[in-house]
Structure 1
């Protein structure tokens, strides 16, 4: 069955050097920046019948110098141009989500227009927090207003939890259980924190023309949606927002299945989404941070489990159809 991979990453030469120069040889506690090339990626695609991959830059992102906004903006532009060039040279295989130099507001607004109007980006990849500023923070409202104006697709990817320090540009990375790489657990919690803040702040409801993609099968969000929505009734006599949050998740979000959603995690997300929830799911590999052999094993497990859960039409929607509709791709 044909697949479209909406969660995969590129590590092009310019970005690799930028990350290494700024202390990210072992990003987020992982062993190393993985090797990556368009040719190697395409070989994996052919093996797994992936007809299109939407590339993005993952954690730690492109704003690696917290006190130098203009420098980060320049590096973000260079990285986006690298991805655009790769996609132009391999147009039948790749599209890309552009990066933004968040939390720099003006520079990000400029990059939104440039990436859409000149580079051919199909949307934007943002991290759960940008140097300690979480998605949904009022500081970022002008950025979300611009994304809303452009009716953008926003792919949210987790990163290491960061806290703002007392001084300008002071950011502390939080590393509980530091002996384990952060993507194992902490990524799931940090993206959940970001999506919760987007919902609780009213950002999702306010900017109704943005389409969001949440990574990793909803991370840790599904079990606590009711807690998030109901907690206002405990502390301020507010109204229960659980049903409203579920409606926003069903109508404004898509969810990729990168990682290890089978056999258990998928059921919690589908229960949260309700009837027709499979229409909000899309395939993802997390390659190359997930090695090719593991990607292949995950694909096999997905095939096995989905046959027990979904009919042929539903599986087709998850593997490729939902992405085709969202991104306007030809079948």
Structure 2
């Protein structure tokens, strides 16, 4: 069955050197920046019948020069141009989410127009927090106004929890530091960011932004009712749980990168309700998830989907929902990927 991969990453040469120069040779406690090339990626796509992959830069992102916003904006532009060139060289295989130099405001607004109008980005990849500024922060409202005006797709990826402390310093949080932070901490940080987007009213205020949440909703399905109930402490009135569930059903897509099967998927489908499979999209997290593991997870997903979905629903999850979201054309069945 054909797949469209909306959660996968690139580590092109320019960005790799930029990350290494800024001390991220082991990003977020991982063993290393993985090797990546367009040719290796395309070979995996052919093996798994992936017709299109949407590349993005993952954590730690492109704002790696703390307190040097101009340099961070310049490197974000260079990285976006590097990804755009990869896509131009392989247009039938790749699209890309452009990065933004969050938390820089004007530089991010400028990059939105450039990426959409000049580079051909299909949307934007942002991290759950940008140097301690979380999505939903009032400081980012001008950027969300711009994203809303451009009817943008916003792919949200988790990162390490960072806190702003005295003197605008940034403190990186490393609980259980013997374990790489993508194992657990990423799930908590993106849940925190999505909760803040809901609680701050950002999702409601900007109705023309389509959000993609990573990793099958992270920990959000387990605590969305708790978040909605506690919202009454600051807003008064009744629990906002039902409103938050409605926003998740109508404004969000959820990628299945990681380990949604055999258990995690059930919590997400429960809060999405009837037709929830229409909000699911396929993802591999390659190359940060190694090829061998990606292939194994694809087989696990096939088995899990057989138990949950009929053929049409499974096709929607694997490719149809992404085709509608991005306006992709379905390739003829006899086309070899």
> TM bucket by the smaller chain?
over 0.9
Q: Whole-Å Cα distance in 2 between the matches of residues 264 and 67 of structure 1?
A: 42
Aligned to 1:58: 58
Aligned to 1:220: 219
1:66 Cα deviation after fit: 1.5
Q: What is the count of residue pairs matched by the alignment?
A: 330
Closer, same or farther in 2 for the Cα pair 1:236/1:195, shift >3 Å? Answer: closer
Contact 1:192–1:221 (Cα < 8 Å) also in 2: yes
Q: Whole-Å Cα distance in 2 between the matches of residues 204 and 319 of structure 1?
A: 26
Aligned to 2:142: 142
What's the TM-score, normalizing by structure 2? 0.97
Contact 1:232–1:238 (Cα < 8 Å) also in 2: no
Aligned to 1:279: 278
Q: What is the DSSP-based 3-state SS (H/G/I as helix, E as strand, rest coil) of the residue aligned with 1:58?
A: coil
Contact 1:25–1:32 (Cα < 8 Å) also in 2: yes
- The answer on 1:323 being equivalent to 2:318 is no
Aligned to 1:9: 9
Q: What is the DSSP-based 3-state SS (H/G/I as helix, E as strand, rest coil) of the residue aligned with 1:125?
A: strand
Aligned to 2:334: none
- The answer on 1:156 being equivalent to 2:162 is no
Q: Whole-Å Cα distance in 1 between the matches of residues 254 and 284 of structure 2?
A: 13
1:55-97 CA distance string (max 9 Å, x none)? 0000000000110111000000000000000000000000000
1:231 Cα deviation after fit: 1.1
1:168-226 CA distance string (max 9 Å, x none)? 3x111100000000000000000000000000000000000000000000000001111
Contact 1:136–1:201 (Cα < 8 Å) also in 2: yes
- The answer on 1:97 being equivalent to 2:97 is yes
Aligned to 1:244: 243
Contact 2:164–2:171 (Cα < 8 Å) also in 1: yes
Unaligned runs of 5+ in 2: 331-337
Aligned to 2:26: 26
1:232 Cα deviation after fit: 3.1
Aligned to 1:70: 70
Q: Whole-Å Cα distance in 1 between the matches of residues 56 and 81 of structure 2?
A: 12
Q: Whole-Å Cα distance in 2 between the matches of residues 105 and 275 of structure 1?
A: 39
What's the TM-score, normalizing by structure 1? 0.99
Q: What is the DSSP-based 3-state SS (H/G/I as helix, E as strand, rest coil) of the residue aligned with 1:140?
A: helix
Q: What is the DSSP-based 3-state SS (H/G/I as helix, E as strand, rest coil) of the residue aligned with 1:182?
A: coil
Closer, same or farther in 2 for the Cα pair 1:27/1:209, shift >3 Å? Answer: same
1:100-132 CA distance string (max 9 Å, x none)? 000000100000000000000000000000000
Q: What is the DSSP-based 3-state SS (H/G/I as helix, E as strand, rest coil) of the residue aligned with 2:167?
A: coil
CA RMSD of aligned residues (A): 0.8
